[in-house]
Structure 1
Amino acid sequence: MRRFRFTAYVTSLLLATGLALTGAAAAQASPQLAATGGYVALGDSYSSGVGAGSYISSSGSCSRSTKAYPYLWNAAHAPSSFAFTACSGATTDDVLANQLGSLGSATGLVSITIGGNDAGFADVMTTCVLSSDSGCLSRINTAKAYVDSTLPGKLDNVYNAISTRAPSARVVVLGYPRFYMLGTTCLGLSETKRAAINGAADYLDAAIAKRAADHGFTFGDVRSTFAGHEICSGSSWLHSLNWLNVGESYHPTAAGQSGGYLPVLTSAA
C-alpha cells in the first residue's frame, strides 16, 4: 500500500508538471496587410508546438517547433517579418510579461492560443486520470467557474494589449480541440470522463470566442478540423497519455498542427 501511494504521488506530480499546456478596435487589417506585414505568433504550447517534435534548440523550455502552425504559416506566406514568441506553459500573465515585445505598427497578423493554463488544464487532466468520475467532474466544474468569473478579464487584458501595440494587425484567436471521440471502445478514461473533458473544451472555447468577438478579433475554431482525429478515433492528431514524454500528452501531433491548426489560421488570416 505504501508503494502504491508513493507511485500515485509521483504520477500526480509528473502529470501536474508535464501536462501544463507545455509546460482592439473592431476594424481589422485586410488579409493583404496580414500577408505582407509582419507576423507575430503568441500563446501557449498549442501554438509553440509541444507534441509536434522538431523543437528549435534556441527556444529552450518554450519548446517551439518547426512543425507548429505559426512556423508552417510563415514558411508558406513569407511575411515581411516573423516573431515566434509562443511558449510552453504560458498563461495570460506570461503573454503580457514576455511575449508582446515584437508587436508594432508594422504588424499585419497576430495569432494566439491562450487561456487553457489559466483555467487549470494540467490539474484537470491530472485529476481526471487519477481520480473517480465524480472527482473528475468536480474539478471540471471548478475550472468552469474560473472560466465564468476570472478568465474573461484575463483575456481582455491580453487582447487590449495586443490592440494597443499592433493597432493595424489582424488578430486570429485560435481555440482548443475536443480531446476524445465518444462512443468507441477505447482503453483509458471512462466515457463519463471523456464526455466531461470534451464539454469543458467546448465551454472554454465559447468563452474565448466571446471575448475575441467583443474585441473585433477573428476566432479560429479547430474543433471541426480535428473532428474524426480525436483520441480514440484510430487516427488521432492528439497525443494520449505518454509516459515516455509526459509533457507531450494531450497536445497536437505534427499532423494536428498541419492538418488541424494551420488550415484554420490560413483561412482566417
Structure 2
Amino acid sequence: MKRRIITLATAAALALAALLGGAPAATAEGHLGEAYVALGDSEAAGTGNLPYLDLECLRSARAYPEILGAGFGGAASSACAGATTDHVLYGQLGDLGPATQLVTLTAGINNADWQAVLAACSSLGTPVSCQTEYGEAALALADLPQRIAQLVGAIRTYAPNAYIAVTGYPLLFGDVTGTCSVGAFQRTPVKVSAQQAMLANTGVTNVNAAIEGGVDLYQFLTSDPGVGYVDVTAAFDGHGLCDTGDRWISGLVSGQATFDRSFHPNAAGQQAYAGVIAAALPW
C-alpha cells in the first residue's frame, strides 16, 4: 500500500511538471505585483463597450475587471480581444507577484475559431457547415483542460498568495423555440433556428465544462484551495440574444466602428460578470 501511495504521488508530481513545463520564466526578483490582476480575452476586456482604455486590445472602461477593481484601488488588466490561453500564458502575467490578492481569468474559447462556428450556425451558413465548424472547434478544444491547468499553475507560480477565479462564458442565445433574429451583417438580417442556437449553446457549455475540468485537474494535482471555477451561465439566464428579457449580450452589429460589439456582453452583462465573481470570492 505504501509503495502504491508513493507511486501515485510520483505520477501526480510528474503530471504537474508536464503541465507546467511550458510555463514562461518567473518574473524578476523583488517584483511585488498588483493587488488585482485581470487576465483573458475579449470577455474580460469588455470588448464592444465604449469608451476604450486600450484600442489595440479593445479593453473597455466598462469591463468587469474595472468594476471589481474598485475594491482593490484599481485593476491591472492585461485582457485582450482575441487572446488564447497561450497568449495569456506568454504575454499577460507580468503584473503578478506575491502582493497580488486576486486574479481573474476568462480564456479558452478563442482556442477554437468560435466566430466561424457562429457564422456557420446562422442564416449565413448551412446545416452542413454548422456541423463541420462545430466538429472542428470540438477537436481544437480537446486539450483545453490541460491548457487551463497549465495556465493556472503558472499564475500560482507568479502569484503565490492570490485567490484565482477562473470564469466560464454565458450562453449566447438563451432558450429558443423558433427562429431568432440576432442582428445584421452587411445590411442582411441574420437569424438562427432553434436547432442552430441549441448547437451553439451546447458548444459554449462544452467549453465551460473543459475550463472547469482544467481547474479540477489542477486542484487534483496540487490540492490548492485558492482556485475556483466561476459559472456565469445562471446569471445570464433570461438575458440571451433569443430570450424575452433585457439582452445582456449584443447581437451582430454592422459597421467598422461597432462590429467588435457583436456577440459580446454589453454593459449590463459586464456588471453581471462582476457580480457573479464578487459573490464567488472567499472573503
TM-score range relative to shorter protein = 0.7 to 0.9
CA distance in 2, matches of 1:247, 1:196: 23
Alignment match, 1:30: none
Which residue in the other structure is 1:66 paired with?
61
Change (3 A) 1:81 1:178: closer
Shift of 1:81: 5.9
Q: Does the 8 Å CA contact 2:38/2:105 hold for their aligned counterparts?
A: yes
Q: Is the 8 A contact 1:52 1:257 kept in 2?
A: no
Q: How many angstroms apart in 2 are the aligned matches of 1:72 and 1:80?
A: 11
Shift of 1:180: 0.8
1:52-131 matches, cutoff 5 A: 52-56=49-53, 59-75=54-70, 77=71, 79=72, 82-129=75-122, 130-131=124-125
TM-aligned CA deviation for residue 145 of structure 1? 2.2
Match of 1:255 among 255, 262, 268: 268
- Whether 2:48 is the aligned partner of 1:51: answer yes
Structure 1 gap ranges (5+):
1-23, 25-36
1:201 aligned residue? 204
Between Structure 1 and Structure 2, the one with more helix by share is: 1
Please report how far the alpha carbon of residue 97 of structure 1 lies from its aligned counterpart in structure 2 after TM superposition. Answer: 2.0
Tell me if the contact between 1:44 and 1:91 (Cα under 8 Å) persists in the aligned partners. yes
Aligned partner of 1:268 in structure 2 is: 280
Unmatched runs of 5 consecutive residues or more in structure 2: 1-15, 17-33, 182-190, 220-226
Q: What is the one-letter code of the residue matched to 2:105?
A: I
Would you say the 8 A contact 1:119–1:151 is kept in 2?
Answer: no
Aligned counterparts of 1:241 and 1:38: Cα–Cα separation in 2: 36
Per the normalisation by structure 2, the TM-score is 0.76
After superposition, the Cα gap between the structure-2 partners of 1:229 and 1:144, relative to the gap in structure 1 and judged at 3 Å, is same
- Taking the aligned partners of 1:127 and 1:160, their CA distance within structure 2 comes to 35
Cα–Cα, structure 1 residues 80 and 243, in superposed 2: closer, same or farther, change >3 Å?
Answer: closer
Task: State which of 226, 229, 235 in structure 1 corresponds to 2:239.
Answer: 229
Instruction: Please report the RMSD computed on the Cα atoms of aligned residues, expressed in angstroms.
Output: 1.7
2:249–2:263: 8 Å Cα contact kept in structure 1? yes
Alignment-mate amino acid for residue 118 of structure 1: N
Flag the structure with more relative contact order, 1 or 2, with Cα contacts below 8 A and sequence separation at least 6.
Answer: 1
Report the Cα offset of residue 243 of structure 1. 1.0
Deviates more, 1:118-127 or 1:89-98: 118-127
Q: Structure 2: which amino acid aligns with 1:104?
A: G
CA distance in 1: counterparts of 2:172 and 2:105, whole angstroms:
19
Residue identity over aligned pairs, in percent, reads 36
**Residue correspondences, number:** 228
Are 1:140 and 2:134 matched, yes or no?
A: yes
Change (3 A) 1:68 1:55: same
Post-superposition CA distance 1:135-192 (Å, at most 9, x none): 10221122112222x2223223311210111111100001001111212552311111
